[in-house]
């Protein structure tokens, strides 16, 4: 009964238990109750209807009385309504007028004890308001009256049902009598049949004539027929009586149920009477609370007066402090002037002393001149002799030059070839690795050939060019003829990652893998990349993609699975793509991330990548893994593959964003062959917040020799509890190997002087092209071009909370207020954020100065960077960020919040603590509207008021070197130190 009651009343405001009703009558204006329903539900409905009717009646009474009363407010559903102001006020907001907004601000300056006492007294007073209790009692009385009326109706229904029961009992008695008569008739018929049978037997014995027998037979048939018809009618009547008895039993059960409902109604009535008594007792206490409330109002007024006095004293103190600050500044200016005068006085004294020394020096110089004249005569004689010697040396130099030319001709054959593109050497390297995996050349021979490719040896390039037309066997023989002992000129680095731009890019990780690899390659290091072979990659950006005739088997879930290896070049780099032949089709999902089994997908890939390196006979110096997707490489390397012989490398792990850590149940590690009992420990891979789960990022930190993140400031932020997302203690434990290295950008791709997506290319020395790109973007997006001096603010970002979407929204409207134009490019994976910005985009769809493009468009992003005067980057946290670097590269001045990599690359032009040559933008600290207001207003004012200073700022930003060279140099130093330590450990 209770469960039916709780699920029947959606519209009941007296109980929170009626919020899950499935009946379709939950509209406030309906008065029809759902049917069928139990009688207890009917009482609840009547209670609601009566309470609503009572509210209307009470509203009419109080509104009529308010016209003559001095109090201007009335009661309406628990809210006070002021007819003069036409504003609703909740009962909880009806505090004394002294406690207004300004009073609340002043109350903050009171002592903590007084403020707490005041708040507690006000809350106690609010809880005992007479209007609330009186209204509630009236509603309860009305509900009780309705319940009694309903009870009377039910009793009347019971009487009617009792009359029907009596009638049915009489009919039942008649039916029983008729059944008895029918039984007697049946017995009589059976006796007649017995007698008939006896007569037949007697006639047969006596041999009576056929005529008498026929007459007797006809008589018997007539009697039987009449009895049969009467019996059938009795049976039909008996069946109808049985049906009537069954219906009567059902009605009798309903009567019993009605009795039970009457008991429940009686209990409800008793409960309402007890509730009414409690409320009446509380009402008797409320006048005392009212008097106490009036006392509180007086006390509040006194407190408000004290607050005003304190505020006046504070204002006076503030004015005195400001005057003191001004005096202090004047004193500082005077002190600086005194310091300058003292400095100039010291310089004058020094000058006086030096003038005396000059007189003495002149006398000495006169003497030296005489000596030089004498020596000059002697030198003329010496020169003649030197000329003769010079002629002899020229002849000797010519002979030596001839010898050097002959040697240079001989050495040119051994010098590295620099005019071949990186794609050529990468293809050559992939060819050698393919032969090695296919067991066509020995591992040692492959190592020597790789070193020749590494050094760009002319001999191997000549052999490769000469063998292009030959068959494979002939080419292999020619290459093996070049094998000789050689030493490696640099490091051998292999990146194992889930992304690489531009073929498989989701975020900044792909840019880092590609940009860092290219920079290391330019420094003379051998760099290779291992990626999953996704079905959604940009295959048109891969050069010479082909599958090797080899299958790599790898362990997973207790069995071996086959994997196909593909090779190709991306941006001049050799890349290996792993295609698993697993029934779950791990990387054939149409997307890079976001699958429910991502933990399994990437732990599988990490193990296959190491299996590939082992079977290919590779001996890298550094294995560099990235983010949680390939952090499994570190524990897999040391626990499984180093004992198998893949032990030449040091492990470097880079976490690009500690927001994503790759956690799962500890048992999930067993799939890729790791021992969960061995690793699920606090000092290893156990998640710091859930002891039955493992954390792949933590495993990467613990099991790597080098741990990096993408900026120095972010490296400090993640050591805190807020920034580390639970890993701050682990990072502090391993702080000696943890460092932040600021990312760079690929300056070949992001270069306004060569960018093919731009309307006009330009540079720091020729900014006319930037103005033309701005005009082209305005025409393309339908923005106004009436004012060429109107500033254009750009923003390219993913619309997620991390990027400060509330500040971006505020910047749109603020830019409009300040007379600027705003262009946003980006979308959101969060549905409610996407809908919100779609609403803003529709609102400004035809506006002259605002445009929102809620998608990602590569070519449009380049044109927005080129056209924008300034760029908004208000991130809540930002590990590194590339937007600010790209915007400065294109001459768009950044407006950024001081966090993470933004704090390491953007420095405010008004910050005197920063050397002037490094100031390049506008920054703010607090992630609120006030912070972004100050930075954006300063930027637009400088743009309008001082065009020359703005131009100089733009040129300075465009000349800043944000390439990967400096970052790659830092990684190179980290690699070398780690490799040196590793080799020292092996020697000892």
pLDDT band (50, 70, 90) for residue 547: very high
Residue 795 located in a structural domain? yes
- Of the three residues 484, 512, 530, the one that is the final residue of a domain is 484
Mean pLDDT (whole number) for 840-851: 95
Q: Report the predicted TM-score, pTM, of the whole model to 2 decimal places.
A: 0.56
Interval 567-582: pLDDT, tens: 999 999 999 999 999 9
Question: Average pLDDT of 500-527?
Answer: 92
User: In whole angstroms, what is the distance from residue 935 CA to residue 944 CA?
Assistant: 15
Residue 30 — very low, low, confident or very high, per pLDDT cuts 50/70/90?
Answer: very low
The answer to whether the beta carbons of residues 289 and 122 sit under 8 Å apart is no
Residue 525 confidence (pLDDT): 93
The answer to the question of residue 396 being in a domain is no
What secondary structure letter does DSSP report for 356? H
Residues 6+ apart with CB under 8 A from 763: 752, 753, 769, 958
Cis geometry, peptide bond prior to residue 502 (ω within 30 degrees of 0): yes
929-945 and 805-817 helices cross at what angle (nearest 10)?
40
Between residues 387 and 191, the one the model is more confident about: 191
Do 639 and 675 touch, CB atoms closer than 8 A? yes
Residue 323 within a domain: yes
Mean pLDDT of 704-719: 96
Is pLDDT at 421 greater than 80 in this prediction? yes
Is residue 526 helix, strand or coil? strand
Choose between 245 and 586: higher pLDDT: 586
Lowest mean pLDDT among 507-516, 569-578, 630-639: 507-516
Q: Which residue has the higher pLDDT, 647 or 39?
A: 647
Co-location of 171 and 314 in the same domain? yes
Q: Give yes or no: residues 688 and 830 share one domain.
A: no
Across the chain, mean pLDDT equals 78
Tell me the average pLDDT across 680-704. 95
Longest dimension (CA), the chain: 199
Q: What is the number of H-type helices and E-type strands within the chain? A: 27, 20
Determine which helix (DSSP H) or strand (DSSP E) holds 604, and give its type and residue range: helix 598-615
Query: Given this model, what pLDDT does residue 751 score?
Result: 95
Mean pLDDT of 492-510: 93
Q: Render pLDDT for 126-140 as a digit per residue (tens, 0 to 9).
A: 655 556 666 767 777
Measuring CA to CA, which residue among 892, 829, 839 is closest to residue 861? 892
In a domain, 26, yes or no: no
Counting beta carbons within 10 angstroms of the beta carbon of residue 121, is it exposed (0 to 12), middle (13 to 18) or buried (19 or more)?
middle
One domain, residues 555 and 476: no
Predicted confidence at residue 226, as pLDDT, reads 67
Q: What is the pLDDT of residue 17?
A: 37
* For range 462-473, the mean pLDDT: 77
Q: Give tens-digit pLDDT for 146-181.
A: 777 777 787 777 777 777 777 777 777 777 777 777
Establish whether the linkage from the previous residue to 36 is cis, with ω within 30° of 0: yes
pLDDT for 453 equals 84
Convert the pLDDT of each residue in 584-599 to its tens digit: 999 999 999 989 999 9
What CA–CA distance (Å, rounded) separates 422 from 573? 7
Range list of H helices, 507-581: 508-522
Q: Is residue 204 part of a domain?
A: no
Residue 283 has pLDDT above 70, yes or no: no
CA 210, 214, 215, 216 dihedral sign is positive
DSSP 124-162: HHHHT-HHHHHHHHHHHHHHHHHHHHHHHHHHHHHHHHH
pLDDT digits (tens, 9 = 90+) for 290-310: 555 556 566 666 666 666 666
Whether 951 and 929 map to the same domain: the answer is yes
Which whole number is the average pLDDT over 478-503?
A: 80
What pLDDT is stored for residue 284 in this prediction? 57
| Highest averaged pLDDT of the listed ranges 64-73, 117-126, 431-440, 850-859 | 850-859
- pLDDT score of 97 more than 50: no
> Is residue 106 assigned to a domain?
no
Q: What's the rounded Cα separation, in Å, for the pair 931 and 713?
A: 20
Kindly report, residue by residue over 781-790, the tens digit of the pLDDT.
999 999 888 9
**Do 895 and 778 share a structural domain?**
yes
Q: CA-to-CA distance for 863 and 751, rounded, in angstroms?
A: 12
State percent of the chain over pLDDT 70: 65
- Among 578, 651, 641, 574, residue whose Cα is nearest residue 608: 578
**What is the reported pLDDT for 908?**
97
pLDDT of residue 302: 66
Please indicate, yes or no, whether residues 508 and 472 belong to a single structural domain of this protein.
no
For the segment 736-757, the average pLDDT, to the nearest whole number, is 94
- Predicted pLDDT at 144: 73
- pLDDT tens digits for range 891-933: 999 999 999 999 999 999 999 999 999 999 999 999 999 999 9
Euclidean distance between CA atoms 334 and 328, whole angstroms = 10
What are the DSSP calls for 240-256, one per residue? HHHHHHHHHHHHHHHHH
| pLDDT in the model for residue 1 | 39
pLDDT level of residue 119 (50, 70, 90 thresholds): low
The answer to whether residue 693 scores a pLDDT higher than 70 is yes
Residue-wise pLDDT for 46-94, tens only, equals: 445 455 555 555 554 444 444 444 343 333 333 333 433 344 443 344 3
Q: How far is CA 273 from the centre of its chain?
A: 55
Residues 652, 567 share a domain: yes
Q: Which domain holds residue 720?
A: 492-740
Residue 887 has what pLDDT? 97
Q: Is the pLDDT of residue 749 over 50?
A: yes
Instruction: Return the sign of the alpha-carbon dihedral for residues 939, 945, 947, 949.
Output: negative
Phi, psi of 9 (to 5 degrees): -115, 95
Q: Distances in Å between the alpha carbon of 343 and those of 141, 289, 329, 352, 695?
A: 95, 78, 21, 15, 63
Is residue 380 domain-shared with residue 508, that is, in the same domain?
no
**By percentage, how much of the chain surpasses pLDDT 90?**
47
> CATH code at 705?
3.40.50.2000
Q: How many domains does the chain have?
A: 4
pLDDT of 449 = 84
* pLDDT in the model for residue 192: 74
User: Is the same domain home to 373 and 458?
Assistant: no
For residue 29, tell me if it sits in a domain: no
444 and 508 both lie in a single domain: no
Q: Which residue has the tokens 């070839």?
A: 417
Q: How far apart are CA 238 and CA 186, in angstroms?
A: 14
Query: What is the per-residue pLDDT across 301-343, written as a single tens digit (0 to 9) for each?
Result: 666 666 666 667 767 766 766 776 676 676 676 677 667 666 7
825 and 937 fall within a common domain: yes
Of 721, 740, 759, which one is at a domain's C-terminal end? 740
Q: How far apart are CA 512 and CA 508, in angstroms?
A: 6
Q: Quick check: helix, strand or coil at residue 106?
A: helix
Of 689, 262, 191, 430, the residue nearest 199 (C-alpha): 191
pLDDT at residue number 477? 74
Mean pLDDT of 952-963: 95
Last residue of a domain, one of 725, 740, 755: 740
The larger pLDDT score, comparing residue 516 to residue 398, is at: 516
- Report the pLDDT value the prediction gives residue 161, as an integer from 0 to 100: 77
- How far CA 639 is from CA of 550, 583, 612, 737, in Å, comes to 26, 27, 17, 20
pLDDT of residue 615: 94
247 within a domain of the structure (yes/no): no
Asked whether residue 793 falls in the same domain as residue 878, the answer is: yes
Higher pLDDT among residues 349 and 663, named by residue: 663
Q: Give the pLDDT mean for 615-632.
A: 96
Per-residue pLDDT band at 27 (split at 50, 70, 90):
very low
Q: What pLDDT score does 391 carry?
A: 63
| Higher per-residue pLDDT: 733 or 409 | 733
Please list the residues that pair with 873 across neighbouring strands. 896
> What is the Cα–Cα distance from 50 to 55, expressed in whole angstroms?
9
């Amino acid at each position: 009964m209770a469960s039916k009651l709780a699920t029947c009343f959606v519209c009941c405001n007296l109980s929170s238990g009626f919020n899950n009703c499935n009946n379709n009558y939950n509209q406030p204006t309906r008065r029809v109750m759902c049917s069928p329903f139990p009688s207890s539900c009917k009482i609840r409905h009547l209670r609601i209807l009566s309470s609503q009717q009572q509210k209307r009646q009470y509203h009419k009474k109080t509104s009529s009385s308010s016209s003559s009363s001095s109090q201007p407010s009335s009661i309406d559903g628990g809210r006070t309504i002021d007819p003069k102001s036409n504003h609703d006020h909740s009962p909880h907001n009806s505090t004394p007028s002294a406690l207004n907004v300004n009073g609340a601000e002043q109350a903050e300056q009171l002592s903590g004890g007084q403020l707490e006492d005041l708040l507690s007294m006000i809350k106690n007073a609010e809880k005992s308001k007479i209007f609330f209790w009186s209204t509630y009692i009236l509603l309860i009385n009305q509900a009780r009256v309705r319940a009694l009326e309903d009870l009377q109706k039910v009793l009347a229904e019971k009487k009617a049902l009792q009359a029907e029961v009596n009638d049915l009992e009489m009919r039942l008695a008649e039916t029983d009598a008729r059944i008895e008569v029918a039984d007697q008739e049946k017995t009589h018929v059976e006796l007649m049949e017995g007698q008939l049978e006896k007569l037949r037997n007697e006639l047969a014995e006596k041999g009576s004539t056929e005529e008498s027998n026929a007459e007797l037979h006809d008589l018997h048939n007539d009697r039987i027929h009449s009895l049969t018809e009467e019996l059938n009618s009795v049976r039909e009547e008996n069946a109808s009586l049985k049906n009537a008895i069954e219906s009567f039993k059902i009605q009798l059960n309903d009567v019993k149920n009605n009795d039970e409902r009457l008991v429940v109604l009686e209990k409800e009535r008793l409960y309402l009477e007890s509730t009414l008594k409690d409320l009446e007792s509380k009402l008797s206490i409320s006048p005392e609370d009212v008097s106490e409330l009036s006392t509180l109002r007086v006390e509040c007024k006194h407190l408000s007066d004290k607050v005003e006095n304190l505020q006046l004293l504070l204002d006076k103190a503030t004015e005195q402090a400001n005057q003191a600050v001004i005096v202090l500044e004047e004193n500082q200016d005077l002190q600086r002037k005194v310091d300058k005068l003292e400095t100039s006085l010291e310089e004058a004294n020094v000058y006086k002393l030096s003038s005396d020394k000059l007189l003495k020096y002149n006398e000495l110089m006169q003497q030296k001149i005489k000596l030089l004249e004498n020596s000059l005569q002697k030198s003329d004689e010496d020169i003649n002799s030197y000329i003769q010697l010079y002629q002899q040396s020229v002849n000797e130099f010519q002979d030596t030059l001839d010898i050097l030319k002959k040697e240079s001709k001989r050495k040119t054959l051994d010098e590295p070839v620099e005019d071949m593109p990186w794609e050529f050497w990468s293809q050559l390297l992939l060819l050698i690795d393919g032969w090695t995996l296919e067991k066509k050349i020995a591992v040692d021979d492959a190592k020597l050939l790789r070193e020749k490719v590494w050094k760009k040896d002319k001999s191997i390039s000549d052999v490769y060019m000469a063998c292009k037309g030959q068959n494979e066997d002939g080419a292999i023989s020619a290459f093996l003829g070049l094998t000789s002992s050689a030493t490696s000129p640099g490091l051998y680095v292999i990146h194992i990652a889930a992304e690489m731009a531009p073929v498989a890019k989701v975020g900044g990780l792909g840019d880092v893998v590609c940009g860092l690899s290219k920079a290391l390659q330019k420094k003379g290091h051998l760099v290779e990349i291992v990626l999953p072979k996704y079905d959604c990659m940009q295959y048109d950006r891969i050069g010479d993609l082909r599958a090797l005739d080899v299958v790599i088997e790898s362990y997973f879930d207790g069995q071996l699975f086959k994997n196909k290896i593909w090779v190709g070049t991306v941006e001049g780099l050799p890349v290996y793509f792993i295609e698993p032949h697993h029934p779950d089709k791990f990387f054939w999902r149409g997307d890079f991330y976001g699958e429910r089994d991502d933990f399994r997908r990437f732990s599988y890939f990490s193990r296959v990548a190491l299996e590939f390196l082992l079977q290919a006979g590779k001996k890298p110096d550094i294995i560099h893994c990235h983010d949680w997707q390939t952090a499994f490489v570190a524990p897999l390397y040391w626990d499984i593959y180093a004992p198998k012989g893949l032990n030449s490398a040091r492990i470097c792990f880079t976490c690009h964003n500690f927001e994503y850590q790759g956690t799962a149940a500890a048992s999930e590690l067993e799939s890729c062959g790791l021992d969960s009992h061995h690793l699920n420990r606090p000092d290893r891979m156990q998640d710091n917040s859930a002891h039955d789960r493992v954390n792949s990022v933590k495993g990467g930190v613990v099991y790597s020799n080098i741990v990096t993140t993408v900026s120095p400031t972010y490296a400090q932020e993640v050591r805190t509890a807020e920034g580390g997302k639970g890993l701050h203690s682990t990072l502090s434990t391993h702080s000696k190997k943890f460092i932040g290295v600021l990312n760079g950008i690929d300056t070949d791709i992001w270069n306004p002087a060569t960018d093919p997506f731009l309307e006009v290319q330009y540079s720091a020395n020729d900014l006319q092209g930037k103005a033309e790109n701005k005009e082209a973007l305005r025409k393309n997006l339908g923005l106004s071009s009436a004012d060429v001096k109107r500033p254009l603010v750009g923003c390219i970002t993913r619309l997620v909370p991390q990027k400060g979407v509330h500040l971006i929204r505020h910047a749109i409207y603020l830019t409009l207020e300040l007379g600027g134009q705003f262009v946003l490019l980006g979308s959101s994976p969060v549905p409610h954020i996407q809908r919100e910005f779609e609403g803003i985009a529709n609102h400004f769809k035809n506006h002259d100065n605002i445009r929102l493009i809620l998608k990602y468009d590569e070519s449009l992003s380049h044109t927005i960077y080129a056209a924008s005067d300034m760029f908004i980057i208000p991130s809540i946290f930002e590990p590194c960020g590339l937007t600010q670097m790209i915007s400065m590269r294109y001459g768009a001045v950044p407006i950024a919040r001081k966090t993470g990599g933004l704090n390491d690359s953007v420095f405010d032009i008004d910050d005197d603590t920063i050397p002037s040559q490094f100031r390049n933008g506008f920054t703010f600290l607090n992630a609120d509207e006030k912070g972004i207001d100050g930075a954006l207003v300063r930027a637009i004012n400088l743009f309008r008021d001082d065009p020359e200073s703005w131009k100089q700022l733009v040129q300075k930003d465009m000349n800043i070197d944000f390439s990967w060279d400096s970052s790659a140099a830092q990684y190179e130093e980290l690699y070398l130190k780690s490799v040196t330590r590793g080799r020292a450990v092996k020697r000892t």
